[in-house]
Structure formats: structure tokens, C-alpha cells
Amino acid sequence: MAAPILELKGIERSYREGEGRLTILKDATFSLKPGEMVALVAPSGAGKSTLLHLAGLLEAPDAGEVTIAGRACGRLSDDARTAIRRNEIGFVYQFHHLLPEFSAEENIMIPQMITGMAPAEAKQRAGQLLDYLRVGHRASHRPAELSGGEQQRVAIARAVANAPRVLLADEPTGNLDPRTAGYVFDALEALVRQSGLAALIATHNHELAARMDRVVTLDGGKVVPWKG
């Protein structure tokens, strides 16, 4: 059996709330294997974003360990964490967060060029990804000129531009009408399945969750199988 690409062990996370603390995650444990697509379904405020941020090294747990591609990340330097985040992890958010002053293609070239890739090569990969996600004809348009579904497909292309091994998505279709959500998810699923990426996707959409390999939820600060 393949080793997990992402592992969370004994994760604790709480936030200050008035005089006390609000515990969001308590001894949370979760692992994701290469090629696995897992849905995270839980009510608003349960801690889905917190879990994704911890998994993506955007914040640090109060206790516990996040391991990515076999590397325990807790004691790494900021630079080493940034390198892992840049090379191994792709993020998709509910809102596209594309850079407004750049074209769709440039938005996908930029993360590649940050890692040192030559512009011509970055442009070629951006074009391939946009074609794969069927937005190639919109490559030269800026985000404001794209529909919501197109913006999210460009955001997905950007997330995988550096060929990460883990894709973390926080309600990637949450801002779209049901039909658009369906075809954006189709594109995301095809990409994940074809590339062998591991994906953890927070969603409120039970129909889409049911298409993934597993569904988990948060209960008492722990990650548990969804029994819905």
C-alpha cells in the first residue's frame, strides 16, 4: 500500500475567545494517500478551513504534527515550509483569488516562474492546463472578463501549475450555481484522477461529496468518517 502523502497526527488548534479559548481541533488525525480524493463535509464554523490551512502549512498547530511527503513539517524552517507549500501543495478557494491585472494565462505562469521556470515553458504548461480545463479560448482574458465557472477553472489550473502532490480545496464550487458547480467539479475530478494527485475538498454539496472516495467530517474536534 502506498504511504500517505499527507498525514495529520494529534492536531490541536484553539483560538482565543474573550477570557478563554475556543477549541476547534482536538487530537485530530487524518491521512491522505496518493490518488485519493476525500470530501470534508461539516457545518460552517466546524473548522474545515482551519484544518485545510494546517494541512497546507498556512498556519501551525498548537500541538501535533503535519507530515507531507514523509517530511514532518513542525520543526522545519520557514523557508523549508514555504518550499513544501510551493512545490507539493495546491490550493483552491471558494473565491478565485486570481490576480486581477493579469490574464488567465499569466496567472498560471506566475507560480511556475517563481520556482524558476523559464517563461516559455511556463506559458506552454499554462496553455495545456487551460485547454485541459476547457478554458483555453479565454487564456488572454483577465479574471473580471471571465464567468464564475471560468474563473474557478483558471484557479484550479493555477493550483496545479507546479504539479503539486496534494490539492486542498475550500468549497471550490461554493460560489457557483448548481449547474456550473457540476461542470467545474467534473473538470476538477478529471484532473485529479488523471494526475494521481491526492485531494482534500471541503464542500457543502453532498452530491459532489458522494462522488469522492471517502467522506469525512469533524466531530468534537476530530476527523471522523461521515455517516450521513
Q: How many residues comprise the chain?
A: 228
Q: What grid cell was written down for 111?
A: 507560480
Question: Taking a C-beta distance cutoff of 8 angstroms, is the pair 40, 50 a contact?
Answer: no
Binder among 8, 32, 39, 42 for ligand ADP (CB under 6 A): 42
Binder among 39, 49, 94, 138 for ligand ADP (CB under 6 A): 49
Regarding 61 and contact with ligand ADP (CB under 6 A), the answer is no
Question: Among residues 46 and 66, whose Cβ is nearest to ligand ADP?
Answer: 46
Question: Taking a C-beta distance cutoff of 8 angstroms, is the pair 79, 24 a contact?
Answer: no
Regarding 96 and contact with ligand ADP (CB under 6 A), the answer is no
Question: Among residues 52 and 122, whose Cβ is nearest to ligand ADP?
Answer: 52
Regarding 45 and contact with ligand ADP (CB under 6 A), the answer is yes
Question: Taking a C-beta distance cutoff of 8 angstroms, is the pair 62, 12 a contact?
Answer: yes
Question: Taking a C-beta distance cutoff of 8 angstroms, is the pair 131, 190 a contact?
Answer: no
Tell me the C-alpha to C-alpha distance, in Å, between residue 87 and each of 125, 161, 165.
15, 10, 8
Regarding 203 and contact with ligand ADP (CB under 6 A), the answer is no
Smallest separation (angstroms) from ligand ADP to the CB of 205: 14
Residues that bind ligand ADP (CB under 6 A): 15, 24, 42, 44-50
